[in-house]
Amino acid sequence: MHRRHFLLAALGSAALARPVWAAPARIEVYKSPTCGCCSAWVDHVTRAGFAVDVRDVDQDTLYALKAKAGVTADLASCHTGFVEGYVIEGHVPAGDIDRLLRERPEALGLTVPGMPVGSPGMEMGETREAFETRLLLRDGRSVLFQRHG
């Protein structure tokens, strides 16, 4: 086996999903200036390797932004982000965002509706609620993307 093929086999496909020389995906996040859980979620995605630009805005601006992005009230959370043409609503785990960017589905983006305890940014000790990440479709519907807990 050639050395190159051996190294590729040893690394596996997971290591090749995001080349080390690629710039990190940049997420632009809109949130209330006083929301601590939003800041904790920003820390979560930053630790996962995303570059993050935070924009503190008033609630009216945030609601208008959500509506324009196609996020309905039943699928909304506290903060809204945008990455590579997708909307990221609420406490979406960084791994789900990675998967979205790898798979590139025809969709608006992802949401974790509400603020489930134990989701990234909503940690409360050992307390965890099961929650779902939903894929927002262009026709206004959402479907299960990933179950957590």
Give the start-to-end residue ranges of the domains of the chain. 24-148
Task: List, for residues 86-97, the tens digit of each pLDDT value.
Answer: 999 999 999 999
Domain at 24-148, CATH from 3.40.30, 1.10.3470, 2.60.40, 3.30.450: 3.40.30
Task: List, for residues 125-143, the tens digit of each pLDDT value.
Answer: 999 999 999 999 999 999 9
Looking at beta carbons, which pairs linking 87-91 to residues 24 or more positions away fall under 8 Å?
87/111, 87/136, 88/27, 89/113, 89/136, 90/41, 90/114, 90/115, 90/119, 91/37, 91/41, 91/115, 91/116, 91/119, 91/120, 91/121, 91/122
Confidence of residue 8 (pLDDT cuts 50, 70, 90): very low
Task: List, for residues 27-42, the tens digit of each pLDDT value.
Answer: 999 999 999 999 999 9
Please state, for a pLDDT cut of 90, what percent of the chain lies above it: 81
Confidence of residue 23 (pLDDT cuts 50, 70, 90): confident
pLDDT over 60 at 71, yes or no: yes
pLDDT over 80 at 123, yes or no: yes
**Rounded distance, CA 32 to CA 11, Å?**
42
pLDDT over 70 at 26, yes or no: yes
Mean pLDDT of the chain: 88
CB atoms within 10 A of CB 39: 18
Output the pLDDT for position 118.
95
Flag the least confident range among 13-22, 23-32, 39-48. Answer: 13-22
